[in-house]
């Protein structure tokens, strides 16, 4: 394997700075003040206790769209979302999924618009803010991205629960709170099980803890062999561990799954560097 030179070390450092990876609560009107009754208080009819409204479930089919997006099957995800597009202006789940499709199509302006709409439809849900932050990173708007991730983290803490913890962990990762991110993700419930070791592996890669990164990403791939960016980040780890053959295999697999991803050109450059 080639000895890394200064320009290549800087190249890999730049590469590591990029990562690819709801409902709106109804406003309840204040109850009217009850009229005074001449009956004794014990005989007055007590108003029924108000029950918390359950959060609406996402429309059927969005789980498959989410999986296709993580597999970087952008066209398939857009086609599957097509029958729900009439809800894109009113349903935060659909608006979020559509924004993610647009991001993968590198239509970052429209992706931002859709995801901002999702944050308006679901102002207490951390998920749209996480994906909005990712779009800001693609646009090289670091300050806006940090604000979005901080908002996601605050909302996830307020919401509580293992599902919200996943988005808290991702937000912490993007805010470079790496140890906190790992601890949070270890107790989280992701939209798909493979995303937990994937996000922990990416976090370890950002920490330059290459053995741990490779181990976690291998676990993620074992759970979901179509998780495109797991190969990309594991390839970076393999390079740092001196495993040229595994680096080549992972980068080639990444390019097969996500040939149009923003990191595709970087993956090609890495392959050219190690093969010559």
Write out pLDDT tens, residues 215-226: 999 999 999 999
Give the architecture (CATH level 2) of 209-276. Alpha Horseshoe (1.25)
**CA–CA gap between residue 171 and residue 246 (Å, rounded):** 30
176: left (phi over 0), alpha (psi -120 to 50) or beta: left
| Whether the model pTM is above 0.75 | yes
> Do 227 and 253 touch, CB atoms closer than 8 A?
no
pLDDT for the residue 174: 98
What string of H, E and C letters represents the secondary structure of 128-157? HHHHHHHHHHHCCCHHHHHHHHHHHHHHHH
> Do 119 and 132 touch, CB atoms closer than 8 A?
yes
Question: Per-10-residue mean pLDDT for the chain, 276 residues long?
Answer: 45 46 36 46 47 63 94 96 90 96 98 98 97 98 98 98 98 98 97 97 98 98 98 97 96 98 96 88
Domain extent listing, the chain: 209-276
Q: Tens digit of pLDDT for each residue in 56-82?
A: 678 888 999 999 999 999 999 999 999
> Do 145 and 174 touch, CB atoms closer than 8 A?
yes
> Do 177 and 166 touch, CB atoms closer than 8 A?
no
pLDDT for the residue 58: 82
Phi, psi for residue 178 in degrees, rounded to 5: -65, -50
> Do 47 and 30 touch, CB atoms closer than 8 A?
no
> Do 84 and 59 touch, CB atoms closer than 8 A?
yes
pLDDT for the residue 150: 98
Question: Using N-to-C axis directions, what is the helix angle for 195-206 and 228-240, rounded to 10°?
Answer: 40
């Amino acid at each position: 394997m080639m000895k890394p030179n200064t320009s290549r070390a800087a190249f890999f450092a730049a590469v590591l700075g990029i990562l690819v990876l709801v409902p709106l609560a109804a406003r309840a009107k204040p109850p009217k003040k009850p009229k005074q009754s001449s009956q004794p208080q014990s005989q007055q009819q007590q108003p029924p206790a108000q029950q918390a409204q359950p959060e609406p479930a996402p429309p059927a089919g969005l789980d498959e769209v989410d999986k296709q997006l993580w597999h970087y099957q952008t066209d398939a995800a857009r086609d599957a979302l097509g029958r729900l597009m009439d809800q894109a202006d009113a349903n935060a789940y659909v608006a979020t999924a559509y924004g993610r499709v647009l991001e993968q199509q590198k239509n970052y302006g429209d992706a931002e618009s859709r995801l901002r709409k999702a944050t308006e439809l679901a102002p207490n849900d951390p998920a749209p803010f996480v994906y909005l932050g990712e779009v800001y990173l693609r646009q090289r708007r670091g300050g806006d991205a940090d604000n979005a991730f901080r908002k996601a983290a605050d909302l996830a803490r307020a919401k509580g629960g293992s599902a919200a913890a996943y988005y808290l962990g991702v937000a912490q990762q993007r805010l470079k709170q790496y140890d906190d991110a790992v601890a949070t993700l270890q107790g989280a419930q992701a939209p798909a099980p493979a995303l937990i070791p994937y996000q922990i592996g990416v976090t370890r890669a950002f920490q330059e803890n290459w053995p741990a990164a490779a181990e976690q990403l291998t676990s993620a791939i074992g759970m979901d062999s179509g998780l495109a960016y797991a190969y990309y980040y594991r390839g970076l780890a393999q390079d740092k561990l001196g495993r040229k053959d595994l680096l080549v295999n992972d980068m080639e697999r990444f390019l097969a799954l996500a040939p149009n991803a923003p990191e595709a050109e970087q993956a090609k450059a890495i392959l050219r560097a190690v093969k010559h």
